[in-house]
Structure 1
Amino acid sequence: MFILNVCASGLSRSLHYLSRPSVVLAIGWRINNMLRNSVRAQIGIAFTIIVLISLFFSFGITRLLSEREVSLEQRYLTIARDTASLLALTDSDRREQVLDLLSTYNITGEFIKEGGELPFSLTEEKVSPLYQAGLAEPLFLNTEQGPIRLIGVPNIDNSGSSLILKVDFTVFSETMLRILLISLFSVLVIGTLLILLASHYIVEPVKRLTSAAKEMAKGNLSFRIEHKKKDEIGELMDSFNHMASELEKIDKMRESFVSNVSHEIQSPITAIRGFTRAISDGIIPAENQKEYLEIIYQETLRLSKLSDNLLRLASLDSENHPFHPARYRLDEQLRKMILATEPLWADKNLEIELDLQAFQVTVDQDLFEQVWQNLINNAIKYSDEKGRIEVIMEVDNQAVFVHIKNNGKVIPKIDLPHIFDRFYMVDKARSHSGGGNGLGLSIVKKIVELHSSKIDVISNEAEGTCFTVSMPL
């Protein structure tokens, strides 16, 4: 008794503590945070709610069907009929023994005669159907449907006696209901445990992805997730690894870009600073100053060209670059570019061969002028004295092709895959001396791609170097 009082007192204090509004709010806040911050908790609670709803409806449907089951009513009547048959075959002095035996199965019976005492609180009105003439089949004497049914069997031994049976399946129904509830509760508990295990299996890869994302946020772009999954989670991890690879490539390109830009800017600045300091200090004689001033001027032009190219590339990379496609004669544009560069190819005594045909295209005219200017200038720059440059147009049903070819120095095979990379120069010494900075072909490729076109290059000793721009119709 003392222990019970202590437990009751403790429970009372706990309930009083939990009934405080601040405690209820704190518990609710913690549960809310757990649900919002844990996918595993969300999955578990969602599954539990679904199971509870399913169990509730299943239990209700089972009860409804059991109460309305017609075959159950027939079983009651069959029990009464078989019991009456058994008693009819039994001697009158042993019928009480048979009824006592049946009572162990919750079946109680009493014999009545018309006008006699009625058992089980029955009334004359309820048993009157038993005395109808010609009635031979058992019938229900109580209209309530439940585990206790009163069944009357008329004239079982042709002596005017009728049998009233009380079939009580209350214990059986309660046992079955208890088994059903235990089974449903077991399903709930086992299902909840299994879903918690399954949620752990599902959430664990998400945690690994979160850890990997945090590693990348710290700058560790080489971090990869190893897995053997083939499902949607595996696809997500593959996508994450692919994203990490691309980011690592972009980061390396950025570092290379910054390094190249710094180098390209530092070289002319160093030359300008050195020559200006030498002239200022009087180290260079007056008669040689003009030559060095010309070098300084060329280096400033090189810086200006580098700045223009960087700004142009940045503009082309953005989505805000002005884009004004117009329809015009492509062959006329190519002729104008050849004429504009005449001082350059005439100075090297180059032979220019044009094979053009009248054809109109719809592209940004200013941007493609820069494409032809860069390609033709490169062809002139890398052509030998008295060499030849060919500009050829070809048109078919799908695209127009422009080939710009020269027979000068070829591009080594090892350099071909990289010639469109930014700041990449095949002959760095010659490019620097000619004012190059490795951005011209990058700009060309960017412009061509903006027009959904394509540029290819072939370079070998037999054919020379040929750049081909294909513009889809």
Structure 2
Amino acid sequence: MDKVLKSCFPKKVLWRLTLTNIIVIATFIILSSWAIYNTACFLVEGMGQINAQKQNEFNTTLFQYLWIFSVSVIIMGSVVHFYITTKLIKPLNRLIESTKIMKQGHYPEPIKVKSDGEIEQLILHFNELVQQLKNNEQYRQKLISDLSHEFRTPLSNLNGYLNALSNGVIEGNPKLYESLQKESKRLTHMVEQFEILKEWDYASIQNFTERQQVDMRLLLEQSVEMFKWLLDQRGIKVDLQTDYGKVTVINGGIPQVISNLIDNAIRYYEGTGPIIIKGEALDEEYLVTVSGPSQRISEFNQEKIFERFYRTDSSRNSETGGTGLGLSISKEIVEHHNGKIGLISNQNYNSFWFTLPLGHIT
């Protein structure tokens, strides 16, 4: 049935267009021929130089020629129209075939177009829609796979230990309870970060969001102050160097970016020397850099490190690997502020940076 509909629909449209064109062309040609015939007959009759027999012969001959001319033009015009319309409707046939493929749950190949008409524009938009759907599907599958992987290990640990405790296989002790609490906190933290990521995904398509101008120097100082106790506990010094610079921020996202980068610098700190935090006001943008000694990040990991759920430790250690969402959230926030974010890795010294436009953003 689908094949019948697929083949009949363009043909129905084609015949309707052709029939409509024939009726319109025939009507105008007949009216024009009738006007020419009557005008010519009237003019010749008005000249008064031919008798009635000659007048009738002239009228009959003119009528025959106009009739032959009209029929010929109608037939030729209809054939040309049919040929042109067939070529115009051909892309619609491919569009219908692609739509049927999508209806069956598959993604069709892009439809090739050669011109820039309205139908071709429709097909181009259709190709873009199919590509967007494919990207969304790939993202959805990857997201489900990542979520499944991330939640499986801590949930298995919690269920295993809780079953063992409830069955009396093992006895509880403060160290075990502390470990279980850490796994529970990690799951909670992961859900919270995922909610933040979802909010910024939603914010990225909104035109009206709360904005305010802030001094980046103040934001950096406040962010460092929040980590003062943890830095003192770890015995890590901080070198803060900031310039004054006003930027427009949305919904308080930039303090979270700064906190994520500082938290990473502390979490992966190895070696000696301070963590250096710089805020530089350049010509048109404000540059923030968080640098510190840590493990070397390979070029492969540098390209992947801002992806969701990606962590540089292949073992996905919960103590050092976090949730793999912090940098991804930072990237979402910075890019939504029309900024850029990146990483410079030099042996055992890594520098995470991001830029924001100075002044207002659109």
SS class of match (1:169): helix
Deviations 1:313-371 (A, max 9, x none): 22222259894222232211111111211233333332311111233322136221211
2:162 matches 1:272: no
The correspondence for 1:145, drawn from 34, 42, 46, is 46
2:109 paired residue number: 224
1:51 deviation in Å?
Answer: 0.8
2:309 matches 1:441: no
Distance in 1 (alpha carbons) for counterparts of 2:335 and 2:237: 31
1:426-465 mapped onto 2 (5 Å cutoff)? 426-429=312-315, 431-434=317-320, 436-461=322-347, 464-465=350-351
2:183 matches 1:282: no
2:59 matches 1:205: no
Unmatched 5+ stretches in structure 2: 1-7
Judged with a 3 Å threshold, the aligned counterparts in structure 2 of structure 1 residues 37 and 194 are, in CA distance, closer, same or farther, namely: closer
Judged with a 3 Å threshold, the aligned counterparts in structure 2 of structure 1 residues 150 and 285 are, in CA distance, closer, same or farther, namely: closer
* TM-score (ref. length: structure 2): 0.85
1:194 deviation in Å?
Answer: 2.7
Judged with a 3 Å threshold, the aligned counterparts in structure 2 of structure 1 residues 226 and 367 are, in CA distance, closer, same or farther, namely: closer
Q: Which amino acid aligns with 2:235?
A: N
* TM-score (ref. length: structure 1): 0.67
1:305 paired residue number: 189
Q: Which amino acid aligns with 1:293?
A: Y
1:51-130 mapped onto 2 (5 Å cutoff)? 51-63=25-37, 65-67=39-41
Does the 8 Å contact 2:334/2:354 carry over to 1?
no
Deviations 1:96-136 (A, max 9, x none): xxxxxxxxxxxxxxxxxxxxxxxxxxxxxxxxxxxxxxxxx
Judged with a 3 Å threshold, the aligned counterparts in structure 2 of structure 1 residues 422 and 280 are, in CA distance, closer, same or farther, namely: same
1:307-456 mapped onto 2 (5 Å cutoff)? 307-319=191-203, 323-364=209-250, 366-429=252-315, 431-434=317-320, 436-456=322-342
Q: Which amino acid aligns with 1:298?
A: K
Judged with a 3 Å threshold, the aligned counterparts in structure 2 of structure 1 residues 49 and 406 are, in CA distance, closer, same or farther, namely: farther
2:146 matches 1:172: no
Deviations 1:17-52 (A, max 9, x none): xxxxxxxxxxxxxxxxx9999432342133223312
With 393-402 and 235-244 compared, the bigger mean Cα shift is at: 235-244
Q: CA RMSD in A?
A: 2.9
2:17 matches 1:48: no
Q: Which amino acid aligns with 1:426?
A: T
SS class of match (2:299): coil
Does the 8 Å contact 2:95/2:111 carry over to 1?
no
Does the 8 Å contact 1:406/1:466 carry over to 2?
no
Q: Which amino acid aligns with 2:46?
A: Q
1:470 deviation in Å?
Answer: 2.8
1:416 deviation in Å?
Answer: 2.2
Greater relative contact order, per chain length (Cα 8 Å cut-off, separation 6+): 2
Judged with a 3 Å threshold, the aligned counterparts in structure 2 of structure 1 residues 66 and 460 are, in CA distance, closer, same or farther, namely: farther
The correspondence for 1:466, drawn from 343, 352, 362, is 352
1:235 deviation in Å?
Answer: 5.3
Unmatched 5+ stretches in structure 1: 1-33, 73-143, 152-164
SS class of match (2:275): strand
1:231 deviation in Å?
Answer: 4.2
1:150 deviation in Å?
Answer: 5.8
1:255-270 mapped onto 2 (5 Å cutoff)? 255-270=141-156
1:442 deviation in Å?
Answer: 1.6
Deviations 1:120-159 (A, max 9, x none): xxxxxxxxxxxxxxxxxxxxxxxx638xx467xxxxxxxx
Percent identical pairs in the alignment equals 25
1:205 deviation in Å?
Answer: 1.6
If you compute each CA radius of gyration, which structure gives the higher value, 1 or 2?
1
Distance in 2 (alpha carbons) for counterparts of 1:40 and 1:341: 72
Distance in 2 (alpha carbons) for counterparts of 1:225 and 1:454: 32
1:258 deviation in Å?
Answer: 0.6
Q: Which amino acid aligns with 2:20?
A: A
With 177-186 and 49-58 compared, the bigger mean Cα shift is at: 49-58
Distance in 2 (alpha carbons) for counterparts of 1:242 and 1:52: 41
Does the 8 Å contact 1:150/1:167 carry over to 2?
no
